[in-house]
Amino acid sequence: MFMAIRVSLLLITLLASTLPSFSLYEDQVGLVDWHQQYIGKAKHAVFHTQKAGRKRVIVATEENVVASVDLRHGELFWRHVLGEKDVIDHLDIALGKYVITLSSGGSILRAWNLPDGQMVWESFLTAGKPTKTLLLVAEKENLIFVCSNGHLHAVSSIDGSILWNLDLATESVEVQQLFQPDGGDVLYVVGLSSLSQLHTYQVGNGELLLHDVREVSGGFSGGITLVSSEILVGLDATKSNLICLTLKDGKLSSQVVPIHDLVPDFSGPAVILQSKLEGGFALKFNTYLLFVRAVSEGILKLVGRVENAAAISGSLALTDESQAFGLIQHDASKINLVVKHANDWENDLLKETIEMEHHHGLVEKVFLNNYVRTDLSNGFRALVVMEDHSLLLLQQGKIVWSREDGLASIVDVSTSELPLQKEGVSVAKVEHTLLEWLQGHILKLKGTLMLAGPEDVAAIQALRLKSSGRSKMTRDRNGFRKLLIVLTKGGKLYALHTGDGHVVWSLLLPSLRKSDVCQHPIAVNMYQWQVPHQHLLDENPSVVIIGKCGLGIDDPIVLSFVDTFSGNLIESPSLSHSVVQVIPLPHTDSAERRLHLMIDSNVQAHLYPKTPEASLIFQNDIQNVYWYSVDIDNSIISGHALDRKCIAEEDDFCFTMRQLWSIVFPVESEKIIAATARKSNEVVHTQAKSMGDRDVKYKYISKNMLFIATVAPKATGGVGSVTPDESWLVVYLIDTVTGRILHRMTHLGSQGPVHAVFSENWVVYHYFNLRAHRYEMSVIEIYDESRADNKDIWKLIVGKHNLTSPVSAYSRPEVVTVSQSYFFTHSVKTIEVTSTAKGITSKQLLIGTSGDQVLALDKRYLDPRRSTNPTQAEMEEGIIPLTDSLPIISQSYVTHALKVEGLRDIITVPAKLESTTLVFAYGVDLFFTHLAPSRTYDSLTEDFSYALLLLTIIVLVAAIFVTWILSERKELRDKWRRLLVNQAYIPNIFLFDVLE
């Protein structure tokens, strides 16, 4: 039996040593995380469709992205995300192999290698007063001409060297056009000053040859459009006359052409579309689009008139003498693509009708490209930018591919649960599931035994993704499957499945679409409106989206209520008041709709939903409603409470408010740069904190605490803009009910930007230390000393403790703070903290670095009680020895080797499983994963092999049984051997006795 035990232990040891090999990284990719790449709304596009090489389109977007997109499938060949302030102004191709970008207000010119996107060269141009930037690529001379900041530059397209730089002295001139007549070496720059003076600069080989200034009667409205190499057109101040400019002998002559002469039924105002049409231009008024051709000097001719035109492309060269352009019109749920000759309006080169999904909205831009068919005729493809910022390729009457690039500009994020799973499963589905289960475990076993080939590995991954149920449209018991409701800048609402990131539904909100009533709609925020629990089978959850028309605080507001299960718009009412602040209240009505207070610019509060039940609930708790406001411009923080119902308005849901307190920071010494508060839905497991010496400290837990950071006014610029003696950083912990400052600390020689996160009783913030020339992170923990007597066990027994005494925000708290600072290697874009369902799991800080990655840092590294020589009790508590810098462990990057380009924010959502939190990071890219700060102590992993566990148990039982049999046989043999020895020994003794 002892031998059986030894063999069993040996088998267990061998199996345990092979357990790490069960985690096959190759076939586990994408099981709990997903990463999606986007580019944003396209504003410039250049096609490259030569016979040699892959066919692609180069795109520059509003998210400062330059990318090469495959024309076949819409995938990215390469992509570069420039800085937040490095706005791309122009895009072109030079020498047939370089992508040219002009950015940062015309101060940075770059060349990118067309096949792989590597930067070839970079030139920094003269900076000055910001003006309109112009770019002209001269292929014959291998030159790139750039007009920006009052200077004209000539840059070599081969190596980026600046050949010459001419100061045009255009302090008051707004440059409009830069062009070079055909076959000439002279450049012309046309600009305006005072809207009536026309400036013409004639430049040759870096020298100013002529500067002509003339007065134009009637003035100009808007810009000037280049029609041909010798004709320019603009609108006068009344927008009812066209001004035709003709180049003669280096000077421009002007003639006025009334639009009534072209269109007798014209009723202004008119707008010239900035589309590059060779020999003509497009004029828009009302719902009509007019195509006008410049016949000769001062003679314009109307060649076409189109109604309800959505977009028009620039000219496309078919041959040296033939030009074409594209036009898109909307027709209900369809769009019509028409391609016409620039010189022949009557005949269409192409006319197609394409079915278009309504959730994309209207077409905003179109870029045209041609290809040669097998019959040597011209075919056309159109790259279309939609109202929701999506990108589509149209060809042969079909949508070849589409990209939801609106997800690159997310404004706000919320979450929603999925529907409950319905009971009852068909027999066929059960049998199919069992078959998949058997196949999956056979493949897993092959992978464990290192017998799986590449096809088997792919099959393992596919089966795991399918059998895991991660993309099911029902909620799971662990709370991993949810909907991410994201609101984008384009006014579109998406529901993303947390399983694999696919779009469940999308809705282009009507209230956030451009219209005659609202020319500039803006998506502001999104809040959870209804989260049913008791009425889960009867009601669907919903969110409310707040949109406004314009950037002013008094601009009209529109609410949109959307069902998060179906994506249907419930209602979209317009409000009669403005909204500057929204306060979700901790109350719900019988339908489980959450109450919200909306504060307008007239210092009045409006209750929603506007129902008698909501009003009654609110009236019962109106004395306990407090909130604060932060005026960053004036460095003022104020606390408010409700006073009474509005008297001037007959509205039972309108309330006036009174100011309780205010803190005014001296603007000459302090300016607010950051304000952070605790999440209202954060769960704190316990207020007590057990120390290593068996002592207990009580956390000061208050939802009314606010963290404020101020800096010296001179230090509001970038890092290093001031000296250490001129800069300081002051942080405050403020009670928002009473305005009492609980803690104040000054960091001399430090400046922002400051990024902070507030959780439980601690706050962590990141800033720059000018004296040390390094970034720092500091932590402040605040504890409640008024509960110190509760540690006496005898007072607890006799009932003389204060655990049940009421706590008031107006009573002066007895608090003590502990703080510590550490050096940190990276600059930071955002900081978030993990959140779990019960708040038991230890916390981790999620730090969005300047490298667009997410780093998970254990909160224990930011414990203010760390010391260089911790005591034995502190070591038992888990306190880490003090170091001056926080460690950066490469395995701690949540995003692994991936980047979330243009990272803006990180969202954490608790799962039902206490050990796990869901993390969503977004910017230009999207990234989602599961994170277990204390490891998955309460569950087995999704890829745990139950079949292997069963096989291990069977092998162990069989080994024990076999070794028991072998042991019994060996024991029996040993008994027989001893018996035979004894039998042989007895006769020998008898014989010895006889002989004696």
DSSP 897-916: T---TT--EEEEEE-SSTT-
Question: What CA–CA distance (Å, rounded) separates 440 from 450?
Answer: 15
Say if CB 915 and CB 836 are below 8 A apart: yes
Pair of tokens at residue 51: 């016979």
Average pLDDT over residues 626-647: 89
Say if CB 252 and CB 198 are below 8 A apart: yes
Q: Is the pLDDT of residue 17 over 50?
A: no
Q: Using N-to-C axis directions, what is the helix angle for 946-995 and 427-448, rounded to 10°?
A: 60
Q: Is the pLDDT of residue 995 over 70?
A: no
SS (H, E, C) 713-743: HHHHCCCCCCCHHHCEEEEEEEECCCCCEEE
Q: How far is CA 726 from the centre of its chain?
A: 35
Average pLDDT over residues 899-908: 94
Question: What CA–CA distance (Å, rounded) separates 466 from 463?
Answer: 5
- CA Rg value for the chain: 36
Q: Which of 120-134, 141-155, 688-702, 955-969 has the lowest mean pLDDT?
A: 688-702
Q: What is the pLDDT of residue 603?
A: 84
State the chain's maximal CA–CA distance in angstroms. Answer: 157
Instruction: Please give the residue that has the higher pLDDT: either 213 or 730.
Output: 730
Q: What is the pLDDT of residue 123?
A: 94
Q: Which of 160-169, 516-525, 690-699, 984-993 has the lowest mean pLDDT?
A: 984-993
pLDDT band at 12 (very low <50, low <70, confident <90, very high): very low
DSSP alpha helix (H) spans, 330-392? none
| DSSP per-residue codes, 327-395 | EEEEETTEEEEEEEESS-SSSEEEEEEEE--GGG--EEEEEEEEEE-TTS-EEEEEEEEETTS-EEEEE
Say if CB 549 and CB 521 are below 8 A apart: yes
Question: What CA–CA distance (Å, rounded) separates 62 from 488?
Answer: 13
Over the chain, what is the mean pLDDT?
84
Which range, 224-233, 284-293, 301-310, 881-890, is most confident? 881-890
Which range, 28-32, 51-55, 253-257, 753-757, is most confident? 753-757
Q: Is 691 helix (H, G, I), strand (E, B) or coil?
A: coil
Average pLDDT over residues 766-788: 90
Average pLDDT over residues 395-401: 92
Q: Is the pLDDT of residue 543 over 70?
A: yes
Residue 376 burial (CB < 10 Å; 0-12/13-18/19+)? exposed
Place of tokens 């099981």: 31
% residues pLDDT > 70 (the chain): 87
Place of tokens 């769009």: 335
Question: What CA–CA distance (Å, rounded) separates 673 from 767?
Answer: 11
Pair of tokens at residue 340: 């016409």
Pair of tokens at residue 581: 């602040």
Question: What CA–CA distance (Å, rounded) separates 669 from 635?
Answer: 11
Question: What CA–CA distance (Å, rounded) separates 54 from 414?
Answer: 40
| DSSP per-residue codes, 118-150 | -EEEEEEPPP-S----EEEEETTTTEEEEEETT
Q: Which tens digits make up the pLDDT trace of 399-450?
A: 999 999 999 999 999 999 988 876 544 333 434 455 666 666 677 677 666 6
Question: What CA–CA distance (Å, rounded) separates 586 from 626?
Answer: 12
Q: Is the pLDDT of residue 781 over 60?
A: yes
Say if CB 703 and CB 625 are below 8 A apart: no
Q: Give the pairing of strands 231-235 and 696-698.
A: unpaired
Instruction: Please give the residue that has the higher pLDDT: either 128 or 495.
Output: 495
Phi/psi for 892 (5° steps) reads -85, 0
Q: Is the pLDDT of residue 246 over 90?
A: no
Q: Is the pLDDT of residue 694 over 80?
A: no
Letter for the amino acid at 275? S
Question: What CA–CA distance (Å, rounded) separates 730 from 104?
Answer: 33
Q: What is the pLDDT of residue 87?
A: 93
Q: Which tens digits make up the pLDDT trace of 310-363?
A: 888 888 888 877 888 899 988 888 899 999 888 777 788 889 999 888 889 899
Q: What is the pLDDT of residue 464?
A: 60
Average pLDDT over residues 673-678: 93
Q: Give the pairing of strands 251-258 and 241-248.
A: antiparallel
Average pLDDT over residues 247-269: 81
Closest Cα to residue 933, out of 851, 860, 990, 850?
Answer: 860
Q: Is the pLDDT of residue 148 over 80?
A: yes
Q: What is the pLDDT of residue 305?
A: 83
Instruction: Please give the residue that has the higher pLDDT: either 111 or 721.
Output: 111
Q: How far is CA 658 from CA 625, 703, 928, in A?
A: 12, 21, 43
List 154's β-bridge partners, or say none.
Answer: 145, 164
Q: Which tens digits make up the pLDDT trace of 181-235?
A: 876 788 888 888 877 788 888 888 888 888 888 888 778 887 888 888 788 888 8
Question: What CA–CA distance (Å, rounded) separates 9 from 808?
Answer: 62
Q: Which value, to the nearest 10 degrees, does the dihedral of the CA atoms of residues 876, 881, 885, 887 take? A: -50
Q: Is 107 left (phi over 0), alpha (psi -120 to 50) or beta?
A: alpha
Q: How far is CA 752 from CA 634, 669, 857, 955, in A?
A: 18, 15, 21, 63
Question: What CA–CA distance (Å, rounded) separates 362 from 513?
Answer: 10
Average pLDDT over residues 824-842: 92
pLDDT band at 775 (very low <50, low <70, confident <90, very high): very high
pLDDT band at 485 (very low <50, low <70, confident <90, very high): very high
Pair of tokens at residue 30: 């994408």
Output DSSP code: residue 885.
B
Q: How far apart are the first and last CA of the chain?
A: 46
Q: Is the pLDDT of residue 302 over 90?
A: no
Question: What CA–CA distance (Å, rounded) separates 498 from 917?
Answer: 12
Q: What is the pLDDT of residue 432?
A: 47
Question: What CA–CA distance (Å, rounded) separates 874 from 860?
Answer: 12
Q: What is the pLDDT of residue 874?
A: 80
Question: What CA–CA distance (Å, rounded) separates 71 from 908?
Answer: 37
Closest Cα to residue 160, out of 144, 149, 141?
Answer: 144
If residue 793 lies in a helix (H) or strand (E), which one and from where to where?
helix 793-798
Q: Is 144 left (phi over 0), alpha (psi -120 to 50) or beta?
A: beta
Q: What is the pLDDT of residue 545?
A: 94
Pair of tokens at residue 839: 């708040």
Say if CB 938 and CB 840 are below 8 A apart: no
Question: What CA–CA distance (Å, rounded) separates 503 from 145?
Answer: 44
Q: What is the pLDDT of residue 25?
A: 45
Average pLDDT over residues 268-282: 81
Q: Is 963 left (phi over 0), alpha (psi -120 to 50) or beta?
A: alpha
Question: What CA–CA distance (Å, rounded) separates 252 from 291?
Answer: 23
Which range, 301-315, 430-444, 833-847, is most confident? 833-847
Average pLDDT over residues 845-860: 94
Question: What CA–CA distance (Å, rounded) separates 158 from 398?
Answer: 40
Average pLDDT over residues 492-520: 90
Contacts (Cβ under 8 Å, ≥6 apart) of 620: none
Question: What CA–CA distance (Å, rounded) separates 503 from 496?
Answer: 5
Instruction: Please give the residue that has the higher pLDDT: either 485 or 452.
Output: 485
Instruction: Please give the residue that has the higher pLDDT: either 922 or 251.
Output: 922
Q: What is the pLDDT of residue 671?
A: 93
Q: Which of 107-121, 155-169, 681-695, 965-979 has the lowest mean pLDDT?
A: 681-695
